[in-house]
Structures are given as structure tokens and as C-alpha cells.
Amino acid sequence: MERKKLLQEVDSIIEYYCEGCFIKSTLQKEHSKTYAHRFCIEKCTIGEKLKEVGKRLT
């Protein structure tokens, strides 16, 4: 049950903050999709939050 709650939390974070993100779409256009993804994982505060939730999943 805990796993399901954590996955719902990840989904809600992505839906609220990441969908339609101006920074991500700009980086994809100017550089590449991989570059934007790496930025989100390493430098974005929301990416940090997602990593924290992900650690609780494992």
C-alpha cells in the first residue's frame, strides 16, 4: 500500500510541476531532450524532490 501512495505522489508532482514546464521545453528546443532530462534530474528542485520519493520506493 505504501508503494502505491508513493507512486501517486510522484504522479501528482510531475503533473503539477513538470507538465508544461517552460524551462524543460526551452532546453529541449535549444539543446536536446536528453540535455533537458539531465537538467531536470540534476539541477531542478522538483527533480530533487522526485529523487527523494524514489529512494523511499526502493
User: pLDDT tens track of the chain, all 58 residues?
Assistant: 799 999 999 999 999 999 999 999 999 999 999 999 999 999 999 999 999 999 998 8
pLDDT of residue 29: 96
Domain count, the chain: 1
pLDDT of residue 41: 92
Angle at 27 (CA atoms; ends 24, 32), nearest 5 degrees: 110
Residues 6+ apart with CB under 8 A from 48: none
Report the alpha-carbon distance of residue 55 to residue 18 in Å, rounded.
Answer: 19
Quote the DSSP letter at residue 34. H
pLDDT of residue 58: 81
pTM of structure:
0.79
